[in-house]
Amino acid sequence: MSADFPAITSFGTLLKYAQALEEHLAAIAGRAAERAGGAGRGGLEIRAGTPAGLAACAKMHARRAQQLERLRRERLNEVVLQPVAGMDRTTYLPEMELPVAGEGASAGDETLAALAASEERASRFYRDAAACATHVLGGLERSFGRMAAESAEMAVALRGR
């Protein structure tokens, strides 16, 4: 799965990385939501403070993946192309797999912790991408900033804080 996250050297790879991130987060949040669907399975449940549950988390990432595709197509023109440097792909990699579901509350905690950690890395990715976009694409800076904030909020909710 990590093979889908390219080195970040250009506008295209920055957006490709972001899209891979969103698709992956949508997938793992969706799987977690399925697990949570069965009462008592693994002890996984939506914590108080989670915005709208794991399914909503998956939906948010699917929506953002679509939004990124629009940005990739519409915002790209030669005036704004320039090399992108300083973003290490390994810094932002999400958890590739959810912990194996077991019995009891601890398995659910581990899953939520894994999702929260991934959201925190996503938030960091978008924060750095927003800074990077300041001089590349002003319009993207705002979008990335919003995504950074959303992921940060989601991470807090997943950790139940």
Partner 1 sequence: MAVASHLPEAAPHYGRLRNFVAGGFVACDSARVLAVVNPATRAAIAQVPLSAAVQVDQAVSAAQQAFEEWRETPPNLRVQPLFRLKTLLEENYESIARVLVQEHGKVIDEARGSVRRTIDNLEFACGAPTLLMGETLEDGGATGIDEEAIRQPLGVCAAIAPFNFPAMVPFWFWPLAVACGNTFVVKPSEQVPITQAKIFELVEEAGFPDGVVNLVNGDREAADALIADPRVRAISFVGSTPVARQIYASAAAHGKRVQCQGGAKNFITVMPDADLDAHVPNMVSSFFGNSGQRCLAGAVLVPVGARADEVGERFVAAAGKLRLGYGLDETVQMGPLAGERHYRRVLDFIEQGVAEGARLLLDGRNPKVAGYPEGCFIGPTVFDRVTPDMAIVREEIFGPVVTILRAKDLDEAIALANSGRFGNASSIYTTSGKAARAYKYRVRGGNIGVNLGVAAPMAYFPFGGQGDSFFGDLHGQGRDGVGFFTDRKVVISRWG
Residues that bind partner 1 (CB under 8 A): 2-7, 9-13, 16, 72-74, 76-79, 81-85, 89, 134-135
Q: Are 14 and 8 in contact (CB under 8 A)?
A: yes
Tell me whether residue 10 or residue 51 sits nearer to partner 1 (CB atom). Answer: 10
Rounded Cα gap, residues 69 and 71, in angstroms: 5
Rounded Cα gap, residues 154 and 24, in angstroms: 15
Find the shortest distance in angstroms from Cβ 133 to partner 1.
12
Find the shortest distance in angstroms from Cβ 142 to partner 1.
18
Rounded Cα gap, residues 132 and 140, in angstroms: 10
Tell me whether residue 132 or residue 148 sits nearer to partner 1 (CB atom). Answer: 132
Tell me whether residue 52 or residue 96 sits nearer to partner 1 (CB atom). Answer: 96
> Cα angle at 89 between 83 and 95, to 5 degrees?
155
Find the shortest distance in angstroms from Cβ 160 to partner 1.
33
